Chain A
Amino acid sequence: MLKALNLENINKSYGSIQALRDINLTISDGEFFSLLGPSGSGKTTCLKVIAGFEAPDEGSVVIFDQEVTNIPPFKRQVNTVFQDYALFPHMNVRQNVGYSLKVQKLKGPSIEKSIDEILEIVNLTGYDFRKPSELSGGQRQRVALARALVNKPKILLLDEPLGALDLKLREKMQIELKNIQRQFKITFIYVTHDQQEALSMSDRIAVFNDGKIEQVDTPANIYSKPINSFVADFIGTTSIFDKVSAMNLFNLDSAFSVRPENVLIFDKEKDLIGINKNEYFIANGTVIDCQFQGSHLKITFSTDANSKLSAFKSLEGNINQIYDVNSKHLIAWKRSDITILNE
């Protein structure tokens, strides 16, 4: 497969703060790739290095087999959708979208045609002569997208593009972005701190923490096979048992995590009859919180070894179920459902 981007041993620091540590990353052509991590984890700096706004202290950036480490942003066939959109406030929608064509000194009707086409794709036909200040947040977002796409870049970088939108609009734009990516068949590199967004849109995800990449994998693997406790904790809801409590409770010699949907809840000892005790971990739990979450309940238990554990209980059949705080239960999950964590 064609390599769209190759980062080799990228290091970058600002003064005493090391923003990127030994970043190695290869992204294939046409991938929807997410850089996921908490704020300050280095994902935006990584994006800036790819775009050319920041030069790495060490390492090389290769885009489609061309070494671009020292090439300025205006010479890279990479365009960016900025977090605050960075629309030129003095230009209308058409002028904003046509900017990259204008600075290349392109002339003739083909320019107008490309602008029309891209505006139609992002559903902004008819807004041509509005100023950014006269648009809603979602519309500004589309202008930023159209502006970055009109020049048909080889890679599109998106820096938390949906961060400023409300939940409903965000979900709608997620679908549209994915459609646009399929339509243009170009590589998207998407920076986000929202794990839900990364999981639902990406082909692959790189999880950033403290300037390092912790894990690169498909959403399914990131979710089900987190490589360490940071990834496990950051992606979705999970309960982590450290090495000590794992040893005390289950005589297991390493830390592990378990997803709440894999946890079963039993009221009494005799209810356990139906399961094969060799295949399960079983523990005592005391309810400390019970939240209604629509399709299910989220119940938080404290266990004997001072660990906390979350479990989902489907509300199918009986919507009015409730678990009283301080009531005691037995909790169990399959040995095969846990993820062993390397600290």
Chain B
Amino acid sequence: MLFKKGSINKLNQAGLGLRFGAIAGLLFLHIPLLLIILYAFTTEDKSYQFPPPGYTLKWFEVVLNRQDIWNAVGLSMRIAIISTFVAIILGTLAAGALYKKSFFGKSSITILIILPIALPGIITGISLRSTFGVMGIPFSTWTIIIGHATFCMVVVYNNVVARLRRTSPNLIQASMDLGANNLQTFFYVILPNMGTAILAGGMLAFALSFDEVIVTTFTAGQQTTLPIWMFSELIRPRQRPITNVVAVFIMFITFIPIVFASYMASKTSESEGSTK
């Protein structure tokens, strides 16, 4: 009676301040990304003038014809694909071993897996660099891959462990109960169930590797990956319009795996939530 009409509903609705705060935060996260796209079309090539004085597509054409950039793209792709592959194997194995069993030293191993991504990249980078130096291993694509696989492993591990924990342990028992041996159980039950988690983890690992710069800087020697090219442009901008286009390119190439992986992650957690 003393309630104003509708005030009960209001308890379960976001207040104006909260909505404003949330929207402002989201804009803060996304406007910079949108600006990058805008700048790729500017006609201004000497400064970062806003608003752009005019719009053109010609920088895309210029980039298309730049062999050095394509070489960098190719190298980054190769590194990202191989690192992802290695990370998938290592991360999945680790997840399979660690998801259930508890034993002495387990938490140390878990920390060890997280460490490469939790420690500042520069520490990981320099450590690997000095080890390569001491061992007399020359810097090559493979030294970069060793570095990348080390910190990409945790992404795959996290995704697979999360899925394993949500999967009924009875599934494996059910499969064996119905006459399947270990190998059959692995291929018919475990792998298909883990498939999307491994895929999602792998995609994030790819995105992570493709645009990593810090560890790469220390393990690369003379090679120029796309992020390294970009970094040198950031320090000494010489070809602003081309950098703009490359930035857009990097953004989009990581865009697809990220959206896919996050969609998978939120989708499975949602369907899990509704059945339980």
Point out residues on A near B: beta carbons under 8 Å: 51-53, 72-75, 78-80, 82-84, 86, 88-90, 99-100, 102-104, 133, 147-148, 151
From the candidates B180, B188, B189, B275, name the one contacting A74 in the complex (CB within 8 A): B180
Cβ contacts under 8 Å, B171 to chain A: 86, 88
Report the nearest A residue to B181, measured CB to CB: A74
Cβ contacts under 8 Å, A82 to chain B: 168, 170, 173-174
Report the nearest B residue to A95, measured CB to CB: B188
Cβ contacts under 8 Å, A83 to chain B: 170
Contact status A86-B271, CB under 8 Å: no
In the bound assembly, the distance between CA atoms of A84 and B189 in angstroms comes to 16
A156 to chain B, nearest CB (A): 11
Q: Is residue B192 contacting chain A, with contact meaning CB distance below 8 A?
A: yes
B170, B178, B184, B192: residue with the most chain A Cβ atoms closer than 10 Å: B178
B168, B174, B175, B192: residue with the most chain A Cβ atoms closer than 10 Å: B174
Q: Could you give 19 example pairs across A and B, Cβ below 8 Å?
A: A53-B173, A72-B176, A73-B176, A74-B176, A75-B179, A82-B173, A86-B170, A88-B171, A99-B175, A99-B180, A99-B188, A100-B179, A103-B181, A103-B188, A104-B179, A133-B271, A133-B275, A147-B178, A148-B177
B70 to chain A, nearest CB (A): 40
Contact status A86-B275, CB under 8 Å: no
Q: Is residue B193 contacting chain A, with contact meaning CB distance below 8 A?
A: yes
In the bound assembly, the distance between CA atoms of A286 and B99 in angstroms comes to 58
In the bound assembly, the distance between CA atoms of A148 and B174 in angstroms comes to 9
Point out residues on B near A: beta carbons under 8 Å: 168, 170-171, 173-181, 184, 188-189, 192-193, 195, 271, 275
Q: Given A84-B168, A89-B193, A99-B188 in contact, is the A151-B179 Cβ separation under 8 Å?
A: yes
Contact status A103-B178, CB under 8 Å: yes
A118 to chain B, nearest CB (A): 13
B87 to chain A, nearest CB (A): 24
B93 to chain A, nearest CB (A): 21
Cβ contacts under 8 Å, B189 to chain A: 88
Contact status A103-B170, CB under 8 Å: no
Cβ contacts under 8 Å, B195 to chain A: 90
From the candidates B168, B173, B184, name the one contacting A103 in the complex (CB within 8 A): B184
In the bound assembly, the distance between CA atoms of A52 and B172 in angstroms comes to 13
Contact status B177-A151, CB under 8 Å: no
Cβ contacts under 8 Å, A102 to chain B: 188
B170, B192, B195: residue with the most chain A Cβ atoms closer than 10 Å: B170
Contact status B178-A100, CB under 8 Å: yes
A86 to chain B, nearest CB (A): 4
Q: Given A88-B189, A103-B184 in contact, is the A151-B174 Cβ separation under 8 Å?
A: no
A51, A86, A102, A133: residue with the most chain B Cβ atoms closer than 10 Å: A86
Contact status A99-B193, CB under 8 Å: no
Cβ contacts under 8 Å, A75 to chain B: 179
Cβ contacts under 8 Å, B175 to chain A: 88, 99, 103
